[in-house]
Amino acid sequence: MPDYQMTFNKLKFVSECNCLSDAIIDTESQFGRVTSTDNLKDKDFRSKFEKSGKDIEGNCKKKCSHRGISLSIVNDESISDVISIFKELFPISPRYKRFINIISFTEKAGLVKRTQSKNNKHHWDLYKCDTFSLQEINLIESISLADV
Amino acid sequence: MFNVERHKTIIRDIHKIVSNRYVFFTDGDNDILYSGTNIYGNRILAAIIYDDEENDHLRYLHILIDDSQFFKFINRELSLISILQINESFFIVDLNYDGSEKFVNLISFDELPEEFRPLENSFCPEFTIDPTFEYCVSLKGKSSDLHKAKPDDLNEVNTKFTNFIEASLEFIDKFDYERSLYIEAPIAGSFQLNFIINLETRDQFRLYNVPKRQLNGFINHLYNYILYQLPTEEDDVLISEEGLSERFNSIKSELESIYESAQLSYDAEDQQNLVKSINRSIMNLKDIDYEGSFDHIEFANISETGEKIPIGLLNRDYIPSVRNKLYMLIEEEEVITVDNNPINYQIRVYQFNTQTGNGSAYVKYDEDKLDKVSIHVHGRTNYENTDFTHSMDNGTIVTILGIGKKISGKLKEINFDLPE
């Protein structure tokens, strides 16, 4: 049984998909989250599941991803790669998500899990716990993709 | 967000991607750049431009583009902003967060506010694909777009690309794999030939530990180099060591890595073999008739989920564009010979313009061999009700006096005089 004191009922996990396996509490690592402004809002931390109000067809990987908040882990090894990925996307849609915010989490934010993708090997997901709020996020730096 | 003036009529679902949807890039939250085809078979390139968090929907541009623009975009030769400017109009598609369509409208480039336009450097991001061993060849243009193609045209393309793929895979023989090539039965009404490369280990104890995935990645890059990049290389790029380009060296480095996995050394002879293999592969793509049922051919890799990832686009300009890069094509001297006097040719016409007198025919030159030639009839202003139209209408062989023109020993053209 996991030893974290958090519940995840709002995510309405599908029973056969063990989305939280290998997910951990991590208050040390820093993560990048792209947003449209440099002023973090609740809406910047809504999963596709919350926004759409319904589940997605497909396998467990898709269903779990649908409930996660996309992040990129940021450390000495990954930062130039992560910035490069979003910097390359920026010219396609300069009014879409223009800032990459470097953040860390408190122990009450939820669980994070490595979910690397073919185009972003530094991709992680945050599964918000039921009591998640912006107070569980520490904003370290906000970087404008137009300026990098 | 911005509003656009509503237009009267948009052709039903012309903006909607219904098949071949391929996501080039997602940021984890939303698809940023993707493509697909609509119900009419047109290719659409789609890019996100805004996330309207206040009204809970995403705004996309859906742009109808042609094959050439698409290839140039994914090969980073044409930017997204350039495509919008060239095409002048495109669709705004608003999608709810559940993926359902909320709104669609057709707008001109000028109606797209500047702050929402892609930037000057809006080139396709580098995206990673996991290639499979399945490739497809699609006939495009002319009657093939109407789901019609002559059986001979289809057979010719089938044979030539079979030989092309076989020649390109010769390097695999070194690595303990038994290779075989299969063709999947084409879907009725489509002109897509699917080729499946199968690699089996030769015997129980494989000497060389080269992962199939590594071979597959190299094959994919090799095809992109041969079909898309080579036409834009300098002349003599493969002829001399000094001419080798950065792009060829990238292919070479990848092959060197494969040799390293096999714990084999890569030497000058292996490099020569790579160049020879490229030469031999391309030789099989000569003499494709782009004047018949199609005018261009798309070569693509089929992803694990069935989408086509384009690799190259060939038309009548392909061989001329690589001719000076390959020693095998340069060494051929094109000797042209013309009949001194008219001789009898047995022809079966399959295409003929009664106004111009120009067309195409099969010429019989041995007991059982037929070859394609172009025909040109002179002397009249109208060629209706002639032996040529009778041959075409009835599918019969006619014998007519004409002057043949051969290039390097192969009959290419026959001229006929038909006085009034």
Per-residue pLDDT of chain B (420 residues; tens, 9 = 90+): 887 766 657 788 999 999 888 888 888 899 999 999 999 888 999 999 999 988 899 999 999 999 889 988 988 889 999 999 999 899 999 999 999 999 999 999 999 999 999 999 999 987 766 788 999 999 888 877 777 777 888 888 989 999 999 999 888 877 777 788 888 866 655 678 889 898 887 655 555 677 888 888 899 999 999 999 999 888 777 765 555 788 888 899 999 988 888 888 888 778 888 888 898 899 999 988 888 888 899 999 988 878 888 889 899 999 989 887 876 655 555 677 899 999 999 999 988 888 888 888 889 876 666 778 888 999 888 899 999 999 999 999 999 999 998 877 778 889 999 887
Q: Is A46 among the domain residues?
A: yes
Are A34 and B27 inside 8 Å of each other by CB?
yes
Are B115 and A95 inside 8 Å of each other by CB?
yes
What was the pLDDT predicted at A23?
93
Q: Is B121 among the domain residues?
A: no
Structural domain boundaries, residue A26: 22-147
Q: Are B2 and B116 in contact (CB under 8 A)?
A: yes
Are A92 and B116 inside 8 Å of each other by CB?
no
Residue B157's SS3 state is helix
Residues of chain A short of pLDDT 70, as ranges, are: 1-4
What was the pLDDT predicted at B292?
82
Interface of B with A in 368-387 (CB under 8 A): none
Are A36 and B49 inside 8 Å of each other by CB?
no
Question: Considering only CA atoms, which of B99, B97, B70 is closest in space to residue B86?
Answer: B70
User: Is this structure's pTM higher than 0.80?
Assistant: no
Look at chain A and report how many structural domains it folds into: 1
What was the pLDDT predicted at B203?
58
Q: Is A9 among the domain residues?
A: no
B103 and B166: one domain? no
Residues facing residue B402 across a β-bridge: B343
What was the pLDDT predicted at B330?
52
Q: Is A17 among the domain residues?
A: no
Q: Give the sheet arrangement for strand B19-26, strand by strand.
A: B19-26, B31-37, B43-52, B57-65, B89-96, B101-108
**In the block, which residue shows the tokens 């140039």?**
B72
What was the pLDDT predicted at A1?
45
pLDDT in tens, B335-360: 778 999 999 999 999 888 888 888 88
B60 and B45: one domain? yes
Are B98 and A34 inside 8 Å of each other by CB?
no
Q: Is A127 among the domain residues?
A: yes
Q: Are B142 and B295 in contact (CB under 8 A)?
A: yes
Q: Are B387 and B379 in contact (CB under 8 A)?
A: no
What was the pLDDT predicted at B410?
78
Which one of B331, B361, B382 terminates a domain? B331
Q: Is A13 among the domain residues?
A: no
| CATH number for B345 | 2.40.50
Report residue B293 CA to chain centroid gap.
15
Q: Is B379 among the domain residues?
A: yes
Question: Considering only CA atoms, which of A66, A71, A31, A70 is closest in space to residue A51?
Answer: A66
B276 and B179: one domain? yes
**In the block, which residue shows the tokens 């497909």?**
A58
What was the pLDDT predicted at B61?
97
pLDDT in tens, B292-344: 888 899 999 988 878 888 889 899 999 989 887 876 655 555 677 899 999 99
Structural domain boundaries, residue B369: 336-417
Tokens of B95: 């999608």
Residues of B in contact with A51 (CB under 8 A): 56, 97
B84 and B138: one domain? no
Q: Is B299 among the domain residues?
A: yes
**In this complex, is the C-beta atom of B23 within 8 Å of any C-beta atom belonging to chain A?**
no
Which one of B89, B116, B143 terminates a domain? B116
Q: Is B4 among the domain residues?
A: no
B157 and B35: one domain? no
B228 and B310: one domain? yes
**In this complex, is the C-beta atom of B304 within 8 Å of any C-beta atom belonging to chain A?**
no
Look at chain B and report how many structural domains it folds into: 3
Q: Is B3 among the domain residues?
A: no
B349 and B324: one domain? no
Q: Is A31 among the domain residues?
A: yes
B272 and B348: one domain? no
What was the pLDDT predicted at B353?
85
Which one of B71, B88, B116 terminates a domain? B116
Q: Is B2 among the domain residues?
A: no
Residues of B in contact with A85 (CB under 8 A): 125
Residues of B in contact with A43 (CB under 8 A): 53
Are B56 and A48 inside 8 Å of each other by CB?
no
Nearest to A93 among B32, B121, B127 (CB): B32
Q: Is A54 among the domain residues?
A: yes
B154 and B208: one domain? yes
**In this complex, is the C-beta atom of B53 within 8 Å of any C-beta atom belonging to chain A?**
yes
CA angle A10, A14, A19 (to 5 degrees): 80
Query: Residue B181 gets which letter from DSSP?
Result: E
According to DSSP H, which parts of B169-230 are helical?
A: 212-224
Nearest to B130 among A71, A90, A118 (CB): A118
Largest separation between any pair of C-alpha atoms in chain A? 46
The beta strand positions in chain A, using DSSP E, are 30-35, 69-74, 99-105, 110-114, 123-128, 137-144
Integer Cα distance of B147 and B157 in angstroms: 16
B56 and B147: one domain? no
Q: Is A107 among the domain residues?
A: yes
Kindly indicate whether the ipTM for this predicted assembly is greater than 0.90, answering yes or no: yes
Q: Are B362 and B396 in contact (CB under 8 A)?
A: no
- Residue B53 burial by Cβ neighbours in a 10 Å radius (0-12, 13-18, 19+): middle
Q: Are B316 and B290 in contact (CB under 8 A)?
A: yes
